[in-house]
A and B are shown apart, each in its own frame.
Chain A
Amino acid sequence: MKNPYQALGLTAAATQDEIKKAYRKLAKKYHPDLNPGNKSAEARFKEINNANELIGSAEARDKFDRGEVDTEEASARAQQQAREYYYQTQDRGAGRYGQSFSAGADDIFESLFGSRQKTRSADELYKMDLDFKDALLGAEKEITLPSGKRLLVKIPPGIESGKKLRFAKQGNNGADIYVQLNVAESPLFTRMGNNIELELAISASEALVGAEVKVPTLTGAVMLNIPPLVSTGQKLRVAGKGVKGKGDQFVKIKIVNPSASSGAMDEEFKAAVKAWSKRHPFNPRSENERSL
């Protein structure tokens, strides 16, 4: 690798200001975007850039001058960081930006002096991700359009995934804008129209004698009164906690027993339950058995 001072056409006695000036002067001359497709200019620019990395700031230069920089390693790192230059994205009509000035089928002068924006007139569709909660309760989101214009999107409560909101004449050349919403799923709640459902695990003893438990809702936790003798699958209603102003939240009961290894079901407990069941026989399958 070339000595960075030589690469910038300087000697080691150069001042920091001279280094900056030399770098800017050479970068302007050899920048790949000002020399599209010129491989030797690109190689020279890399060299200049490398030199600037090594001695462009007083701090880096001190390190380099003290011999603390492995120039081979720095050069390899620069190679690794090789980037795509803008001209490469526009090569052979591949780029959007250059294409809008390409004569193509149009009159060349029209495309040279016409604005890029003129080519757009059709309705514009944008996609937007939305939280489960915002879709249920409604929200206001500001988005920035590719034209730079900011648009306030008011999300009505209860909007469903895939629905489009229309903004008349907000696009380029008076085009309509559509914002299509993609509503995220919730790890807790399932949507059922205007209502939402939450599965709630309770213990067998809570199911038998009832309890007051904390239940999450879209607007924070509430205390829910579980009446005695509820069964798995039974749904309890929490009013007004679904789609704002329209729906409720249903809490679906799921009875969960401790695992066998937890030791919660000890011999004393088993004996007590057996004795109690004998005195209060209950067969939840009796109806099924009758119909067989």
Chain B
Amino acid sequence: MNETRQFFSLFEVCQDTGLTQELVFHYIEQEWISPHSAVLPEEKCMDHEDLARIKLILELQQDFGINDDAIPVILHLIDQLHGLRNDILKSREENQL
């Protein structure tokens, strides 16, 4: 996946998602997203993973009507799901070898 890794500035993320800078900061403060470097307006501080995660959060909020209190619970469970999914895939591959 590394070859598809793209980086975005705060401006670009706001433009792409329609979020205000304040809301992106809110997502960071809530630890819903965790950019790889300090968030400065011009700095390419977020990657495609952060961007996809922001879009998912937006859909959870806007389309699914999920409130702010439930967002971290869902993200936490999704993160666990991916962690476990990857572990299962990995051990399945190791067993096949």
Q: Which of A102, A108, A147, A148 is the most central at the interface, judged by chain B CB atoms within 10 Å of its CB?
A: A148
Surface stretch bound by B, among A123-131, A193-201, A230-238, A261-269: A123-131
Please tell me if the beta carbons of B83 and A126 are within 8 angstroms of each other in the complex.
no
Residues of B within 8 A of A102 (CB): 83-84, 86-87
Please tell me if the beta carbons of B40 and A128 are within 8 angstroms of each other in the complex.
yes
Cβ of A189 under 8 Å from chain B = no
Mark contacts of B1-42 with chain A using CB atoms, 8 A cut-off: 1 yes-contact digit, 0 otherwise.
110000000000000000000000100111100111111101
Docked Cα-Cα span, A88 to B56, in Å, equals 12
Q: Which of A61-92 contact B (CB under 8 A)?
A: 83-92
Residues of A within 8 A of B1 (CB): 89, 91-92, 94-95
Residues of B within 8 A of A95 (CB): 1, 49, 82
Residues of A within 8 A of B59 (CB): 27, 31
- Once A27-B63, A98-B83 are accepted as A-B contacts, the answer to whether A126 and B37 lie under 8 Å apart by CB is yes
Contact of A147 among B2, B25, B31, B42 (CB under 8 A): B31
Cβ of A33 under 8 Å from chain B = yes
Docked Cα-Cα span, A126 to B25, in Å, equals 17
Binding site secondary structure of chain B? helix
Q: Which residue of B lies closest to A151 (CB)?
A: B38
Please tell me if the beta carbons of B80 and A112 are within 8 angstroms of each other in the complex.
yes
Surface stretch bound by B, among A10-18, A138-146, A215-223: A138-146
- Once A28-B64, A146-B37, A179-B38 are accepted as A-B contacts, the answer to whether A85 and B52 lie under 8 Å apart by CB is yes
Minimum C-beta distance from B34 to chain A (A):
5
Residues of A within 8 A of B80 (CB): 101, 112
Please tell me if the beta carbons of A23 and B38 are within 8 angstroms of each other in the complex.
no
Residues of B within 8 A of A111 (CB): 83
Residues of B within 8 A of A128 (CB): 38, 40, 43
Docked Cα-Cα span, A93 to B1, in Å, equals 9
Docked Cα-Cα span, A176 to B41, in Å, equals 23
Cβ of A190 under 8 Å from chain B = no
Q: Which residue of B lies closest to A112 (CB)?
A: B80
- Once A97-B49, A127-B43, A148-B30 are accepted as A-B contacts, the answer to whether A36 and B38 lie under 8 Å apart by CB is no
Q: Which of A33-65 contact B (CB under 8 A)?
A: 33, 36
What would 14 A/B residue contacts be, using CB atoms closer than 8 Å? A23-B63, A24-B63, A27-B59, A27-B63, A86-B52, A86-B55, A92-B1, A94-B1, A96-B36, A97-B34, A99-B86, A100-B79, A126-B38, A145-B38
**Which residues of B are in contact with A by a Cβ distance under 8 Å?**
1-2, 25, 28-31, 34-40, 42-43, 48-49, 51-53, 55-56, 59, 63-65, 75, 78-87, 89-90
- Known contacts A84-B48, A96-B34, A148-B28; 5 additional CB pairs below 8 A are A31-B59, A103-B83, A128-B38, A145-B39, A146-B34
**Which residues of A are in contact with B by a Cβ distance under 8 Å?**
23-24, 27-28, 31, 33, 36, 83-104, 108, 111-112, 116-117, 126-129, 143-148, 151, 179
